[in-house]
Amino acid sequence: MHDACGVVGISLNETANGAAKSIYYSLYALQHRGQEAAGISVHDGKSIRTHRAMGLVSEVFDDAQIALLRGHVGIGHVRYATSGRSCIENSQPLLVKYKDGAIATAHNGNLVNSTQLREQLEEAGDIFYSTSDTEVIAHIFVKELLHYDLLEAARSLMRRIVGSYSLVFLWGDTVLALRDPLGIKPLCIGEIDSGFMVASESVAIDTLNGKLIRDVKPGELIVIRNGEMKSYQLARSTRPAHCIFEYIYFARPDSIMDGRLIYDVRVNIGSNLAREHPACADTVTPIPDSGITLAVGYHQRSGISYRECLMKNRYIGRTFIMPDQNMRETAVRLKMNTIRPNIEGHKLILVDDSIVRGTTSRRIVNMVRKAGAKEVHVRIGSPPILAPCYLGIDMASRDELIAAHKTVAGVEAVIEADSLGYVSHEGLVDAVGIPKENLCMGCLTGLYPVQIPGEKCLAEQTRLSEYLDSDS
């Protein structure tokens, strides 16, 4: 499983000139959401200037490059590929020029009707330079802006695109932010010195010593210009569908979403996991980093001692090549090593966020056994993943998902654990504190909040255009 993308948009008052530096720091805070590419676009008073490249934020930008991006308004993006190949052409922000100027676009999410829309645009003569659905969005939005005012153009865009999206646009000297009508992907608003910003997570606001104002509402358009912010509610849904895996895994623990500190949510998940699946053991230990907070909650509820038994190497390269089985085993060792004295002779409760294919879990279980663990009980902070995600998370195909084809006992046998326990749907929803009907749990249930060919969906949420207001 891979992280989703991260977006940020910043508008300072006209006297300021440091938007690029602020965006740069914000992208550092969102680096966990994408490590393949990064980019920044700013408006310098005359035109949009963009720098984007493959790599981490620290690899893409240096002081000299930031200095060239002068302006008080801009947007930024960190990418993991959920739509389109991993290449420079698909890095963002994407710039599309048209007769009235240009617009830069950055997107977190995934469109389920991107292929059909692209075919329609190409038949009409549009030329594409990437394979990303973000360019599809940009082309459609530009066409709508040529025919309508901003609000109606945004409404028309929302009527045509189906899927998940938290979008930021740089339109001249204006930052636009738009969240899909179901609020699947996160987006929040913050106040900073000399202006306002939007970002995928509140930690980006914290990095700039800003103040979190609130989440962008599902179906809401935010317009920020010259350090001033306006809001327009373009769509209204009585049932949002927030991505459940933001709470389980993707978001940083120190982020606040929907008024909930992610750290507290994950502690609650771990606590419910301990209640539902106790184990006769003497040590609770996480698989770092994603299992740490879950393990804290399990430890607090069970009273079993917490001890780190695995140490993650955070400096391993992103593109490590694993051509054969021996190299794959070495890669696991490079990424994670055992702390043998903390393991030897102990009965472990090994806590992680999820099991996708089961291969990594099996290798880790075997690692701690070789380090001397007497028993290994695996506890997972999500229910079994039964279906793929079509809405912005690069998970695995249904054929690759181990829980789609095996019972819990079957998965337990594959990963070679002494026992295996997943948090229940009820325990997860209780920990998040949001009603189940307001969460997207498609990967856990096989029921999706938007219509996806060949999949089951919640019928009342298929026609997103019904949520669009005509007179906002």
Q: What is the pairing mode between strands 419-422 and 375-380?
A: parallel
Pair of tokens at residue 53: 């490249």
Pair of tokens at residue 224: 């920020």
Among 465, 471, 399, smallest CA distance to 180 is for: 465
Q: Is 110 exposed, middle or buried (0-12, 13-18, 19+ CB in 10 A)?
A: buried
Helices (H), 63-103: 63-68
Q: At what angle do helices 150-160 and 133-147 cross, to 10 degrees?
A: 140
Pair of tokens at residue 257: 């979403």
**Which amino acid makes up residue 229?**
M
Cα–Cα distance list, 254 to 236, 270, 331, 447 (Å): 29, 17, 29, 30
Give dist(CA 260, CA 390) in Å, integer.
Answer: 25
Do residues 368 and 309 touch, judged by C-beta distance below 8 A? yes
Q: Considering 5, 188, 243, 443, which one is annotated as catalytic?
A: 5
Can you tell me which residue has the tokens 């070495």? 330
Q: Check if 5 is active-site.
A: yes
Paired with 257 in beta bridges are 260
Catalytic residues: 5
